[in-house]
Structure 1
Amino acid sequence: MGLKPLIQSLLRQNYHITHPYHRLRLRLGSLRSQDKIVIYQMSKVGSTTIWKSLEALNLDIPIYHVHTLRHEQISRAIERDKTNFPKLRFMYPETIHSEYLRSQLDQKNIINPWSVITLVRDPVAKILSSFFQNLERELLLGLDYRKRINAEGETKVLQELIERFYQEQVNNSRRKHPFEWFNFELKESLNFDIFAAPSLSKRNYYVYNSRLARILVLKLESLNDSYQSAFQEFLGLQNFNLVQANVGLQKRYKSLYKSFLRHVNLPVDYLDKIYQTELVRHFYSQSEIEQFYQRWTRY
């Protein structure tokens, strides 16, 4: 057996080899450049597409993809990956990336400001997509639910999912607004308050500057119209192309997801709670918010 297959075999067998191996790999990779491109955003906003598109360019700058840089969240993710390793036989790259970048922040080891890319998305669409991704990881939607639909019928399974969504999201007063992510993450980790900076509501993207990072913020809804000019301005990339990845309607649970979106009926007071906030108005214009309402309101 060659060296590479041997290493891959060991990485699939032993968490205590896999974890330090990937940490070392990131440290060695960072030696080739003092610059960093960090895709840092809440989940389910199209970030995997940006990540894979940049990786396809084979740039000389390390690229990282993270959802959190908070100590507590990173510790939970590491413990989750460790617990699930015997079944999954891998660690999520985001976990290793988060751990490494957090150590850079803690050591104040930032020579050049990071190039940070983050995205926003219709918050209700983000909530629905996150709900299904969590179910996929928890219940193996694409496998178990196909069997249940065949045995019990789609109507019963859909009703169960809708009731669960209401319990966990619509009727759960403890749920934070998705855009609080910018306060919990960007503000705490990079000391940048986006809500004190110029609004994105009348723009498709904007580049913010702070001591620790240059930050490109994009709207997912207008990404196809703005990504080329945005990445040319931000990273100097010419003819940058997107590689679609991790799209919910292309996943193994896509049929169930489509049915869920057709049948879930979101109360207006719930939509008001999500959309009628300064958090949303900072990123979206009134006309854009009205379009979101129209998407989710059934007459």
Structure 2
Amino acid sequence: MALKPLIQSSLRQDYRITHPYHRLRLWLEGLRSKDKIVIYQMSKVGSTTIWKSLESLNLDIPIYHVHTLRHEQISRAIERDKANFPKLRFMYPETIHSEYLRSQLDQKNIMHPWSVITLVRDPVAKILSSFFQNLEREFLLGLDYRKKIKVEGDTKVLPEVIERFYQEKVDNSRRKHPFEWFNFELKDNLDFDIFAAPSIAGSNYYIYNTKLARILLLKLESLNDSYQSAFQEFLGLQNANLVQANVGLQKRYKSLYKSFLRNVDLPVDYLDEIYQTELVRHFYSESEIEQFYQRWTRS
């Protein structure tokens, strides 16, 4: 048997081989290049599109994609991947990337500032997209709404899904604002307080220079208009193209997702709690926020 198929087969069969293999692979990759492009952002803000777009350019720079660099979150993700490995037969790349980059921070092994790309998105759209991503993950683990949809149809299942969304996201007193991510992650791990920096309300992107990283902040809503000029200024890339990836409307629940977006009518007091904060006003202008309100209310 050829070596490559043998390795690939082993990686799908045994977590005790898969995990060390990927750790070694990233360590060797890091030795070959001082530069790093780190796509570091909260989930469901279009980061996979950025990741796949940069990978398609075949740059001679390692590219990492992570949602967290917090010790406890990484440990939890590793345990989750280990527990789910017998069913899924893979580890999420974000978990391996987070573990490797966290070790670089712990060892104070950053000789050259990272090139960090982070994104923001309408926080309610982000919350909705994260909710449906969880449904996708449940599907992989054997919990499938599609069986019920096939028997009862979207219109019967939709109220159940909307009720679940309200319980988990609207009426949940323990929920945190999505943009707290910048304090838990960028501030705590890269020593950069984005809310102490200039507001980008009314702008499409901004570049910050810090001790540990150069940071490019993009808005998902204006990404199509800004990415080429942003990539050229930040990375020196010209005529880069976006490769659309991980789009919610292309997934298993796309029909249910579309119905949800058409029918959900969120309470104004809930929207106020999300939008009437300095966390949001730091990134979005009054006119942008008003458009968000109009999207999620029917009255």
Normalising to structure 1: TM-score of the pair? Answer: 0.98
Does the 8 A contact of 1:32 with 1:61 survive in 2? Answer: no
| 2:179 paired residue number | 179
Instruction: Rate the CA distance shift 1:125–1:187 in 2: closer, same or farther, 3 A.
Output: same
CA positional deviation for 1:30 = 1.2
| 2:242 paired residue number | 242
CA positional deviation for 1:56 = 0.8
Letter in 2 for 1:4: K
After superposition, the C-alpha distances for 1:92-149 in whole angstroms (9 at most, x for unaligned) are: 0000000000000000000000000000000000000000001111245998322201
Q: What SS does the corresponding residue of 2:32 show, helix, strand or coil? A: coil
CA positional deviation for 1:154 = 2.3
Letter in 1 for 2:23: R
Instruction: Rate the CA distance shift 1:142–1:222 in 2: closer, same or farther, 3 A.
Output: farther
After superposition, residues 61-72 of structure 1 pair within 5 angstroms as 61-72=61-72
| 1:233 paired residue number | 233
Q: How many residues align?
A: 299
Does the 8 A contact of 2:162 with 2:264 survive in 1? Answer: yes
| 1:135 paired residue number | 135
Instruction: Please say which of residues 230-239 and 131-140 is displaced more in the overlay.
Output: 131-140
Does the 8 A contact of 1:141 with 1:253 survive in 2? Answer: no
Is there any run of 5+ residues in structure 1 with no aligned partner, and where? none
Q: Percent identity?
A: 87
Letter in 1 for 2:75: S
Instruction: Rate the CA distance shift 1:141–1:161 in 2: closer, same or farther, 3 A.
Output: farther
Mapped to 2, the partners of 1:207 and 1:50 lie a distance apart of 16
| 1:251 paired residue number | 251
Mapped to 2, the partners of 1:249 and 1:258 lie a distance apart of 7
1:84 is the counterpart of 2:84: yes
| 2:148 paired residue number | 148
CA positional deviation for 1:221 = 0.2
Does the 8 A contact of 1:116 with 1:216 survive in 2? Answer: yes
Does the 8 A contact of 1:53 with 1:242 survive in 2? Answer: yes
Instruction: Rate the CA distance shift 1:22–1:140 in 2: closer, same or farther, 3 A.
Output: closer
Is there any run of 5+ residues in structure 2 with no aligned partner, and where? none
Mapped to 1, the partners of 2:154 and 2:243 lie a distance apart of 33
Which contiguous aligned blocks of 4+ residues in structure 1 show a shift greater than 6 angstroms? Answer: none
| 1:273 paired residue number | 273
Does the 8 A contact of 2:201 with 2:285 survive in 1? Answer: yes
Does the 8 A contact of 2:44 with 2:130 survive in 1? Answer: yes
| 1:220 paired residue number | 220
| Two-structure CA RMSD over aligned residues (Å) | 1.2
Mapped to 1, the partners of 2:140 and 2:15 lie a distance apart of 22
Instruction: Rate the CA distance shift 1:272–1:118 in 2: closer, same or farther, 3 A.
Output: same
Normalising to structure 2: TM-score of the pair? Answer: 0.98
Q: What SS does the corresponding residue of 1:31 show, helix, strand or coil? A: helix
Does the 8 A contact of 2:136 with 2:252 survive in 1? Answer: no
| 1:161 paired residue number | 161
Mapped to 1, the partners of 2:68 and 2:179 lie a distance apart of 14
